[in-house]
Structure 1
Amino acid sequence: MGVMRVVAWFAIFVMHAGFSVSNAELSSTFYNETCPLLYDTVYAVIYDASLTDSRIGASLIRLHFHDCFVQGCDGSILLNNTATIESEQDAGPNNNSIRGLDVVNNIKTAVENICPATVSCADILAIAAEVGSVLSEWRMPIGLISDTRHDASPSSSAGPRSRRSAAKAAARFIPAPGSGSRSICRCGCSLCSHNTCNRNDRSHSRNHDRNRNLKPWNYNYSNKAVNSEISPQATKTSLVELGGGLRGFFQAQFEGGGPSWSVPLGRRDSLTANITLANLNLPAPSSTLDELIDSFTAQDLNTTDLVALSGAHTFGRAHCSTFDDRLYDFNGTGSADPTLNTTYLEILSEICPQNATVDNLTNLDLITPDEFDNKYYSNLQNLNGLLQSDQELFSTSGADTVDLVNSFSSDQSVFFANFIVSMIKMGNIGVLEGDEGEIRLECNFVNGDSSGLAGVASNHPKDKLVAKSK
């Protein structure tokens, strides 16, 4: 534990110091001048998608992972089939498996509306992965948002009745460019009206019995004004123009969720895709530990990165077809995987009957399926890992990964700190920068006719990032 705590504190130091963990010349401030509302725009689109798709956060993290492991983090996974491009989406690990492409396209459309031809699809994937972590398992505190009035009494019923009403409230903070939409929000015990938003005003949360278990609020509003019903003549201001933006708003209103980090940006988009590398590089759910280590080593990621990034399986779902061999014919033995908890085996057998005609879904995390936490590692300790590639981290005798699983299971902060560092490292794999590649106008297609440029990306050093084949 002592060593892992040192690693965790180093991770936090790296984050706050702004040090790079790779050679990529990326910066979290890359779009500060050219697209200052980028993060808030991405955040809002994903939030809206989450109202009808609880899996979207996990899907977006996975999409970023599957992009980075194939010729680098260049948005190549987003490219559709054309006369000159064979899409990575048709590779075995991706076919009928990757999700969230429509959400990425919606994000791109929203971003193009405010910052035309500026933000790469590769950067959108990186931001979306961070948002996917942050927005897992929201819980709406009662009485924090209402339409016009505030009542701090314990009996107050003010506030949205559902996550959708929160979305509608949030939507009022994102007016169309140039519009004068009126916005109101809660700031502690009172409405944020003209010059009244005090970031230190937390009395409502502290005085309201039903909100005492909430995490400390994270306001970054810097006392800027928000127009409200009680100040109709004030300058019309949207929340996204405030210091904290939607990120500060939602972090103030929701508890739960995974780690957040400043995403290094400045990637450019590839001109090609590589289905061959997708079939070679992406780990399979049946991968052994040696195969997993080879796959990560090929991307200059180490064993700690492997265990930390595998923790993204703390939420999301998997189809029976990705693991049913563990239930009925593990490694051709005709019996179940001996490392699978027998009670869990019974549960999974009911969800995934042998020779079933329907490919059902089940939770990756048995304990807290929709929360980003460290229970994934507790599952492994109890032999409740869903995928073979998960359980291998703990059940492989003498493996270095066992101590890491134990450490992350016993201290969530250690897991979170290492997850952040590993996500940043992964996000720097084989990036295109400067005048390499392009900024796509549509994420699914290269700009114009790129048939004459098919060899450009294939000569890039990142194409050497190929895992050993077994």
Structure 2
Amino acid sequence: MASSKMAFAAILIASLFFTASLAFPAHHEGAYPTGQSPKPGLSPDYYKVTCPQADEIVVSVLKKAIAKEQRIAASLLRLLFHDCFVQGCDASVLLDDNDGVVSEKNAIPNKNSIRGFEVIDEIKAALEEACPHTVSCADTIALAARGSTVLSGGPYWELPLGRKDSKTANMKLANKNLPPPNATLHRLINFFQRQGLGKVDLVALSGSHTIGAARCVSFKQRLYNQHRDNKPDRTLEKTLYHTLASVCPRTGGDNNIRPLDFASPAKFDNAYYQLILEGRGLLNSDQVLWTGSDPEVAGLVRSYAENKHLFFQHYVDSITRMGNISPLTGYSGEIRKNCRVVNKHIQ
């Protein structure tokens, strides 16, 4: 009888242990945080056998391009956002006008604004030479965005790969889904929610503006007619106002550029958030993160301003989540040979 009780107890303990192991699975080094698991078909090791030197090739081209023009790092990072927010991360943003394709490059948020296409062309050509018909244009954008971030002093992240390229673009969706620089906080939150992204993602990913520049046309409204009253934005710090007004006159000068982060425009750090606390955010969409009367959003701005490590940690989580938006995998899409056109147009 005693032996049967002991056996029963052993079975019970084993059962409890098994149940607990299901509820609290072991953490493995390199595992993805909750909610960050790559989509089925995506893996950081996707090209481990077919093109193991892919990242090395991307970084090699990036180093030369960034040495030639520091601003290109921010432009390439921005390409990832403008791709993923329009029908998912599928390289649709790279397609030129062609038979059956109306390019997203001509959408209002993109026209005369997004750039870096020639660098993507150069990276893709190098990848095609080393590993023909292997690395997609969608993954090329993602690799270029990570490489640009790291080379600018920002964090490295495990990048799920294996996206395929779309055969279509969607200019209408680009006009609808890409946030304008004068957006209110409420609108920004809605733009991100539409992509399945939350307030943490909004504030963390806005930190990409720690590098790069914007044209005067993107913030001129703040200088001269913020509320359609012919007056400047009262949240704009006065010294910055005079500096910007000297470069961006009321009429003309729309294509003059100013850094998004005046403190360290070429370095990926948390100075962007520190400037926002001082009323020195360049775009309305930057400054409203602090002045938009949302305690959670404002609290995140302050936290990132005080803690660069926290910003980097949240940024990695958020950009991974954004890179998981509706990728084409498996037999969906294609691997374009030329990122500007679908394969049927290549002879």
Do both share a fold (TM > 0.5)? yes
Q: Identical aligned pairs, as a percentage?
A: 46
Q: Distance in 2 between matches of 1:77 and 1:33?
A: 28
Q: 1:338 aligns with which of 230, 234, 238?
A: 234
Q: 1:41 aligns with which of 53, 57, 64?
A: 57
**What amino acid maps onto 1:24 in structure 2?**
K
* C-alpha contact 1:72 1:431 (8 A) present in aligned 2: yes
2:317 aligned with 1:435: no
Spell out the pairing of 1:266-345 with structure 2 (5 A cutoff). 266-345=162-241
For residue 39 of structure 2, the aligned residue among 17, 24, 31 is 24
Kept after mapping to 2: 8 A contact 1:121/1:443 = yes
- CA–CA distance in 2 between the matches of 1:62 and 1:405? 20
Q: Corresponding residue for 2:293?
A: 397
Query: What displacement does 1:449 show?
Result: 5.1
1:106 is aligned to 2:122:
yes
SS in 2 for 1:51: helix
The question of 1:367 aligning with 2:263 is answered yes
Deviation at 1:398, TM superposition (A): 3.7
**TM-score, normalized by length of structure 1?**
0.66
Q: What's 1:70 paired with?
A: 86
Cα distance change, pair 349–264 in 1 and its aligned pair in 2 (3 A): same
Question: How many angstroms apart in 2 are the aligned matches of 1:370 and 1:270?
Answer: 32
Distance apart, 1:357 and its partner CA: 4.2
Cα distance in 2 for residues equivalent to 1:398 and 1:373: 24
1:22, 1:419 → 2: CA distance? 16
2:111 partner letter:
N
Partner of 1:93: 109
Task: Look up the SS of the partner of 1:318 in the other structure.
Answer: strand
Measure how far apart 1:356 and its partner are: 2.5
2:123 maps to amino acid? I
Cα 1:398–1:282, aligned 2, differ >3 Å: closer, same or farther? closer
TM-score normalized by the length of structure 2: 0.89
Cα distance, 1:84–1:347 mapped onto 2, change above 3 Å: same
Q: Give the secondary-structure state (helix, strand or coil) at the position aligned to 1:30.
A: coil
State the partner residue of 2:320.
Answer: 424
Residue 233 (structure 1) aligns with: none
Q: Which sections of structure 2, spanning at least 5 residues, go unmatched?
A: 1-26
Q: Which runs of 4+ in 1 moved over 2 A?
A: 13-16, 356-359
CA root-mean-square deviation: 1.5
Residue 362 of structure 1 aligns to a residue whose secondary structure is strand
Note if contact 2:102-2:171 (Cα within 8 Å) is conserved in structure 1.
Answer: yes
Cα distance in structure 1, aligned partners of 2:211 and 2:167: 32
Instruction: State how many pairs are aligned.
Output: 318
Shift, 1:17, TM fit: 1.5
1:377 and 1:95 mapped to 2: Cα distance? 28
For residue 397 of structure 1, report the CA deviation from its aligned partner. Answer: 1.9
Question: As a proportion of its length, which structure holds more helix?
Answer: 2
- Aligned match of 2:71: 55
Rounded Cα–Cα distance in structure 1 between residues aligned with 2:254 and 2:165: 37
Cα shift readout 1:219-240 (whole Å, capped 9, x = no counterpart): xxxxxxxxxxxxxxxxxxxxxx
What is the CA–CA distance in structure 1 between the aligned matches of 2:284 and 2:254, rounded to whole Å? 21
Q: Partners in 1 of 2:124 and 2:114 — Cα distance? A: 18
2:14 counterpart residue number: none
- For the 8 Å contact 1:15–1:261, the answer to whether it is kept is no
Q: Which runs of 5+ in 1 are unaligned?
A: 1-12, 137-256, 451-470
Cα-to-partner distance string for 1:282-329 (whole Å, 9 max, x where unaligned): 000000011100100010000000000000000101100000010001
2:18 matched to 1:122?
A: no
Task: Give the C-alpha shift of residue 354 in structure 1.
Answer: 1.5
